[in-house]
Amino acid sequence: MKHLFTLSLALGIFCNSSNAQNTPFTCSNFAYQVVSTGAGIPSVLYQYNINNGQRTTIATITGRVVNSIGYNLVDNMIWGYDLQNSEVVRIDANGIATAFTIPNLPPAGNYIAGDVTPNGYLLLVDQASSIYYVVDVNASRASTYLRIVDPTLGYIIDNSPYGNALSNTTQIADYTYNAALGLFLGVASTGRIARLNINTNTLTFDATPVVNLPTGVNYGATYSDANSDNLYTFNNSTGVFYQISLAGNTAIQTSTSISSSSNDGASCATAVLPVRLSHFSGSIQQGINELRWETAKEQLSSHFEILRSTDGHAFQNIGNVAAAGNSSELKSYRFSDRQPNSGTNFYKLMSVDLDGTTTYSQVVMLNRSSDEAVKIFPVPVQDELHITGLNWESIKELRVMNITNNVVFKTTQKVETIDFSKFASGFYFIQIIKSNAVTEVYKVVK
């Protein structure tokens, strides 16, 4: 131990801990968030259930304002940056912080976005300068542990000038690492998904904003889980959690918590966060309203209750659909409202787990006085896709998007036939964006 301490001083690494016996977290389906309520006010570490918005206080991180956190699978600790004391910190399950001074890491950086890769590299993005730094937080790599490394050169110790400038400027308030893609993902204030590859030093933005995701706000806590299509994010202004389907480029509101302008999030990337609904839409057919939804994964789920309202506030149960219970694959469900009200019908789903936990979906609105019989056919499509029954006076835009979220067709003018002959085989999403901010999404395959 004496020789190790001497080596640390020689490297310029300083460790300051109030507790030598750190307690690791247990990888679970909870998310974590650090929140500071004002300048210089110590951060509070919370445990979150994104499913229902329940927030549990773990501890106040005394004397520290922490941001840019990530869950380190190597040691089951949360790592991040203390903006108050300009130190990298390791936080245990009791909220006790161990601080480290990292050689050559600029102390004045505004490190408010980052995460930890599964093999233990901490990303710190300086939002002020658009330079990012990568710190090795895997103790098994003794030669680079707690040093700045360069991912573009195989994670060797970085040399001056330290860090890497982003290939595109950004105002991303948090990143989360998606292991399947090998990328850090964030949500820009424009509502677009940002994709950062630290190995090639490239930052790109998806072509179109995420449907149903508010723009002009910061998303300060962003999470991934074991399902590579899932992205979860927290609206700083409203405190609303959203689940984003990367394939469908759509968002659904999962829960509402307390808004915060200074916060950051972390979660265990090998767990599945307790949110399952990946898509919910409705269509008007002859005499009935057809509801469809999909789940990406289910754990101990019991059933779905279908709720209907005429004013969007007072909902009543009109039917139940049994859930799969436990599933790790995409599941599709449908429900037909055979006695819909004339005029506007509002629908939402209540997911009920075996332990009684409930979760609500976003609200889908169907107006039978306008689109009386929307039909999209044939499916599968070969050459021409036909769309009939739309009330174009209420439609702002119609888009066709491919599986990689690129818009391959869009129009603001009335159209009843779309030429699919030039499109490659695969899945496509028809997005009907209405002037009242309601969006209907239909999946077709060629």
Nearest Cα to 44, choosing from 270, 273, 359, 257?
257
Measure the CA–CA gap between 439 and 223, rounded to whole angstroms: 24
Cβ of 139: how many Cβ atoms within 10 Å? 11
Strands 176-178 and 164-165: unpaired
Report whether CATH 2.60.40.1930 matches the domain 375-445: yes
Check residue 324 and give its pLDDT: 87
Check residue 6 and give its pLDDT: 31
What confidence tens digit (pLDDT) does each residue in 246-290 have? Answer: 888 888 777 778 889 899 999 998 876 655 666 788 887 767 888
- H or E element that contains 97: strand 97-101
Measure the CA–CA gap between 30 and 11, rounded to whole angstroms: 36
Check residue 13 and give its pLDDT: 47
Q: Which residues contact 104 (CB under 8 A, 6 or more apart)?
A: 148, 158, 160, 162
Check residue 270 and give its pLDDT: 82
Check residue 305 and give its pLDDT: 95
Tell me the two tokens of residue 353. 């787990």
Measure the CA–CA gap between 234 and 242, rounded to whole angstroms: 6
Q: CB-based burial of residue 193 (10 Å sphere; 0-12 exposed, 13-18 middle, 19+ buried)?
A: buried
What confidence tens digit (pLDDT) does each residue in 399-413 have? Answer: 998 887 789 999 999
**Spatial contact of 52 and 255, defined as CB atoms under 8 Å apart:** yes
Let me know if the fold of 13-267 is the same as that of 375-445.
no
Measure the CA–CA gap between 267 and 178, rounded to whole angstroms: 12
Measure the CA–CA gap between 394 and 370, rounded to whole angstroms: 8
Measure the CA–CA gap between 91 and 61, rounded to whole angstroms: 9
Which residue type sits at 416?
E
Domain boundaries, the chain: 13-267, 277-367, 375-445
Counting Cα atoms < 13 Å in the Cβ hemisphere of 242 gives 25
Tell me the two tokens of residue 95. 């909220």
Counting Cα atoms < 13 Å in the Cβ hemisphere of 317 gives 9
Measure the CA–CA gap between 235 and 213, rounded to whole angstroms: 9
Nearest Cα to 226, choosing from 155, 299, 280, 136?
299
Length of the chain: 446
Check residue 276 and give its pLDDT: 63
**Spatial contact of 412 and 421, defined as CB atoms under 8 Å apart:** no
Check residue 403 and give its pLDDT: 80
Q: Name the architecture of domain 13-267.
A: 6 Propeller (2.120)
Measure the CA–CA gap between 198 and 149, rounded to whole angstroms: 11
Residues of the chain with pLDDT under 50: 1-13, 17-20, 371
Which superfamily is assigned to 277-367 in CATH?
Immunoglobulins (2.60.40.10)
Measure the CA–CA gap between 74 and 91, rounded to whole angstroms: 14
